[in-house]
Structures are given as structure tokens and as C-alpha cells.
């Protein structure tokens, strides 16, 4: 994961602070590879939650 501009950097920090409950000091002290792993884990988790919500909605609307 490479930051192309400051907006990406701050957006990622914001997401990690809110999703992962880290603080800014912890984020700044992470190694690059460690931060990348956590960002990928959060993204995968968010995608999984989105898919589960979509499946629940489909079951409620169509399948019961």
C-alpha cells in the first residue's frame, strides 16, 4: 500500500482509528509492512460484512 497523496494517508488513518480502535501514536509507530497487513485485514473484514448484510437483505426480501 502506497500513499499517493495526503488525503489517502489521512483517510486511511481515520479508518484505522475508527475501525481498529488504534490511536495516532500507535499508527505512526507501526512498521510499513505491519500497517499494510492491518489495512488489508480491515478491508477484507469490511467486504465480508457488506456481503453478509447483502445476503441477509436478500433472504428477508426474497427467500424467507
Q: What is the pLDDT of residue 5?
A: 84
Name the residue among 46, 47, 17 with its Cα closest to residue 30: 17
Each of the 64 residues of the chain gets a pLDDT tens digit; together they read: 555 688 988 988 998 898 878 899 999 999 989 988 988 998 899 999 999 999 999 988 886 5
What is the torsion angle, in degrees rounded to the nearest 10, for the CA atoms of residue 32, residue 38, residue 42 and residue 47? 80
1: which DSSP letter?
-
Q: What is the pLDDT of residue 64?
A: 57
Question: Is-above-0.85 flag for pTM?
Answer: no
Q: What is the pLDDT of residue 21?
A: 83
Amino acid at each position: 500500500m502506497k500513499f499517493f497523496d495526503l488525503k489517502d494517508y489521512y483517510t486511511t488513518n481515520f479508518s484505522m482509528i475508527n475501525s481498529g480502535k488504534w490511536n495516532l501514536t500507535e499508527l505512526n509507530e507501526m512498521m510499513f509492512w505491519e500497517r499494510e497487513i492491518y489495512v488489508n485485514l480491515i478491508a477484507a473484514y469490511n467486504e465480508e460484512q457488506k456481503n453478509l448484510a447483502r445476503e441477509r437483505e436478500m433472504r428477508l426480501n426474497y427467500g424467507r
